[in-house]
Structure 1
Amino acid sequence: MSGSNAWTRSRERMRLFPELFAQCAGEAATYGRCVAATTTGRQELRKDMCAKEFEALKTCFSNAAKRKAK
């Protein structure tokens, strides 16, 4: 595998990100609200505090990428 091919694939995936993100705006907003709500004041975000919301966002991205690949 050459370096240029790896960079080409990475660039292509990054170009798709805004479109995939737009398809998952609801999940992204829900995850963002959870993070914001759990880090009010000086609280730190702890692992798994927003796991359910993150999984929903991750699943949405994955499904959107699969649909785009078709």
Structure 2
Amino acid sequence: MALRPHGIPPANLSDDDLRREIAHLHQTRHDTLLGGTESALHAHTERMLALEAEFLRRFPKESAPDPERTRAGKRQHS
């Protein structure tokens, strides 16, 4: 069985569409994990990783970790 692409390539999505796609995938993740087939879970995972990678590429400041959630940041406030 040949793999087929799922959705528009992330690089071709507008910023708003990228955010909407990620939000939708995160909303459907639990249902796919619990009730989806192995191939559905694989496709969902591949799409999620591709969208998240594109988000990280486009929005590095938004996706940077909160300093309070890193060991170095926690040490500074100890």
- TM-score (ref. length: structure 1): 0.39
Query: Relative CO higher for 1 or 2, CA cutoff 8 Å, sep ≥ 6?
Result: 1
Of Structure 1 and Structure 2, the greater helix share is in 1
- TM-score (ref. length: structure 2): 0.37
